[in-house]
Homo-oligomer: A and B are copies of this chain.
Amino acid sequence: MERITLNQAMENHLRAIHEALETNEWATTSECARRLGISSASVTAMSKKLSRLKLVKYVPYHGVQLTKLGEKSALEIVRHHRLLELYLSEALGIPWDRVHDEAEKLEHVLSEELEERISKSLGDPTQDPHGAPIPARDGTIDHVEYRALSSVEPGETVTLLRVDDRVPEFLRYLGSMNLYPGTVMKVITVEPLGGLLALRVCDKEIVLGSQAAGMIRVTAAAKAEQRQ
């Protein structure tokens, strides 16, 4: 598996593709465009380029999938990104709603030596501040089964495992209610039409909209071990 030199644009696209593939079989052009904040035409151009370099399988009008080589390359960036998020949060005290944007810039200029020292100084962690798994040095990554909180039935008790890290206001809102990865919560009621969710967390009642609940991933708490 040959070594390929990636530039910033390629790295951004690869990470976007990787993250799109966490929930879908194909990374569609428009999904990548949305994640990257660029036009679909630009994504198509990059899909062709990455395909030429054997980093993705590109099927016109369907989208892309990562090849083995592309997966490996993407995981290197993802590792950079998530290690940085944790380092910024733990070592420098940057609030969890701002680490994503910082990491997005730093991930491209992190040398392997610096990556290694950051990882060591954090004790080779396996989770970023939002509950996403940090790929290991060797390119392996935990594969956790999640459910969206919005799909949980009333009466169930679940553990918060992971939250979407891209919307600062959302993260600040969660933080204000002390909803972090590891938090155990019981779903009390689900509004039939709007999907409004009432939760009990440590004897306090919290109400979440369906959009917020869709950005929160949990697992069944019965078998779910406490984490963090």
Contact = CB atoms under 8 A, between A and B. Distances in A.
A91 B117 CA distance: 10
Interface string A109-153: 101011001100100000000000000000000000000000000
A88 B114 contact: yes
Contacts of A49: none
Contacts of A118: 92
Contact of A111 (B91, B102, B108, B111): B102
Contacts of A106: 106, 109
Q: How large is the interface on A (under 10, 10 to 19, 20 to 34, 35 or more residues)?
A: 10 to 19
A92 B83 CA distance: 14
Nearest to A101: B111
A35 interface: no
Nearest to A121: B92
B91 A114 contact: no
A48 interface: no
A105 to B, nearest CB: 4
A117 B93 contact: yes
Interface string A64-95: 00000000000000000000000010011110
A108 B8 CA distance: 13
B94 A91 contact: no
